[in-house]
Amino acid sequence: MGGWLTNSLALMSDAGHMLTDVSALGLSLVALWFAGKPADVKKTYGYYRMEILSALLNGVMLLAITGFILVEAYERFSAPAAVNLKPMALVATVGLLANLGALGFLHRTHSMNVRGAFLHVLGDTLSSVGVLIGAGIMWFTGWYVVDPIISVVISVVIVVGAVRLVRDAVDVLMEAVPAHVDMAHIKELMLKVNGVTAVHDLHVWTISSGVYALSAHLVVQDPMVCNNDEILSAVKHDLYDRFGIDHTTIQIESETYAHMGEVH
């Protein structure tokens, strides 16, 4: 209402972001609730991926909103509209205080889902700051083109974060190798374990934020096959200490083991 009454595109963009935050934060809460549910025989990993789906949806929503704002800003560049500055600044100040309070609760997290919510609120905070700066410039100069300029600057900042969030969520859903994991280094760590001669079928993926999984086949010298526990303990400790990977499925094979495709 404040954006409509004051005819401020920057304030309307701020309001638009805050409106979507209601659904975005609601989605985040629902996803976190699902993630806390135990695994069952149908969903053996539990509901961790709900967090990733929520993060993906939040990122797409951000991109859609900023796209609308950029279109409106483009139209105003050619025909700047007058803005009622005093109520515009008052509404922006109230919004800024609310957003700063929300950021205080969300800023320390490794959760991709909560990071999506944080980006929504950060966008709102930047919008409120931008509105106040724009109101001050327009008050002293009368340059109403500042209103769409501020909106564009805010939108670009938000788009960068949203694109990164969507990319990270898609990587998880595609079971891509986590960004902090060096596959060559993992293979090297495994080969250093006493008795291991080769590594194949090596896969590393993300289940949810901070939850990583690995599967691999280790080929060991024939006399070392009986030392499975020792080899597994050494490999698992290295994986956890270096990369934080604690969900591992490792198959140990002798050098003479024949795979399905090799059996005649």
* pLDDT tens by residue, 73-131: 888 888 887 788 888 888 888 888 988 888 887 776 666 656 767 777 787 787 788 78
Q: Rounded to whole angstroms, how far apart are CA atoms 127 and 158?
A: 10
How much is the pLDDT for 218? 92
Can you spell out the DSSP letters for 21-65?
HHHHHHHHHHHHHHHTSPP-SS-TTTTTHHHHHHHHHHHHHHHHH
Q: Rounded to whole angstroms, how far apart are CA atoms 218 and 39?
A: 28
CB 139 within 8 A of CB 154: no
Percent of the chain surpassing pLDDT 70 = 87
**Distances in Å between the alpha carbon of 152 and those of 19, 64, 66, 74, 135?**
19, 14, 9, 9, 15
- Edge to edge, what strands does the sheet with 247-254 contain? 196-208, 211-220, 247-254
- Inter-axis angle of helices 9-35 and 49-78, to 10 degrees? 170
Other C-beta atoms closer than 10 Å to the C-beta of 210 total 13
Checking DSSP bridges between strand 247-254 and strand 211-220, what pairing results, if any? parallel
- For the chain, the domains span 2-173, 183-262
Architecture of domain 2-173: Up-down Bundle (1.20)
* pTM (predicted TM-score): 0.70
pLDDT along the chain (264 residues), means of 10: 79 70 66 74 80 81 84 84 83 86 75 69 78 87 86 80 84 90 92 90 86 91 77 90 89 76 48
Structure tokens at 205: 């993926």
Q: Rounded to whole angstroms, how far apart are CA atoms 166 and 164?
A: 6
The Cβ-side half-sphere exposure at 239, using a 13 Å CA radius, reads: 27
At 122, phi and psi to the nearest 5? -60, -40
How much is the pLDDT for 56? 85
Q: pLDDT tens-digit profile of 220-238?
A: 887 766 778 888 899 999 9
Structure tokens at 213: 């999984």
Q: Candidates 2.150.10.10, 3.20.20.70, 3.10.100.10, 3.30.70.1350; correct CATH number of 183-262?
A: 3.30.70.1350
How much is the pLDDT for 210? 74
At 200, phi and psi to the nearest 5? -145, 170
CB 176 within 8 A of CB 34: no
The reply to whether 183-262 shares the fold of 2-173 is no
